[in-house]
Homo-oligomer: A and B are copies of this chain.
Amino acid sequence: MTGHPHHQLKARRLGIDTHSEAAIFMHKDCPVCRSEGFSSLNRILVSTKDRSVIATLYQVEGGMLACSEAGLSDSAWARLDLKDGDMIRARHAPTVESLAHVRGRVYGHALDQDALNQIIPDIVAGRYSPVEISAFITACAAMPLSPAETAALTRAMVASGECLSWNRAVVADKHSVGGLPGNRTTPIIVAIVASLGLTMPKTSSRAITSPAGTADMMETLAPVELDSAAIRRVVEREGGCVVWGGAVNLSPADDVLIRVERALDIDSEGQMVASVLSKKIAAGATHVVLDMPVGPTAKVRSADAATALSSSLAATAAPFGLKVRILTGDGSQPIGRGMGPALEARDVLAVLKNDRHAPQDLRARALELAGALLELSGRAPEGGGVALAASALDDGRAWSKFQKICEAQGGMREPPRAPYRKDIEAICDGQVTQIDNRRIARLAKLAGAPFDKAAGAQMHVRLGDRVTRGMPLCTLHAETPGELAYALNYGDANTDMIRIAEP
Contact = CB atoms under 8 A, between A and B. Distances in A.
A25 interface: yes
Interface in A237-270: 259-260, 263-266
A96 to B, nearest CB: 10
Interface stretch (A127-135, A160-168, A323-331, A385-393): A127-135
A138 interface: yes
A229 interface: no
A17 interface: yes
Contact of A130 (B59, B131, B259, B446): B131
Interface string A416-448: 000000000000000000000000001001101
Interface string A100-142: 0001011110000000000000000000011111110111011
Given A1-B493, A106-B141, A134-B134, A18 B41 contact: yes
A349 interface: no
Q: For the complex formed by this chain, how many copies does it contain in all?
A: 2
Nearest to A137: B135
A99 interface: yes
A263 B59 contact: no
Nearest to A27: B15
Interface in A58-73: 58-64
A62 B13 contact: yes
A58 to B, nearest CB: 5
A482 B143 contact: no
A482 B448 CA distance: 55
Interface stretch (A31-39, A45-53, A213-221): A31-39
B134 A4 contact: no
Given A37-B446, A130-B130, A15 B266 contact: no
A305 interface: no
A34 B448 CA distance: 7
User: Which 7 pairs between the two chains have the least Cβ-Cβ distance?
Assistant: A15-B62, A134-B134, A142-B142, A138-B138, A37-B445, A15-B61, A17-B40
Given A17-B59, A36-B446, A41-B263, 13 more contacts: A15-B63, A16-B64, A17-B40, A19-B40, A19-B41, A37-B445, A106-B138, A106-B142, A108-B142, A130-B131, A132-B263, A132-B264, A143-B143
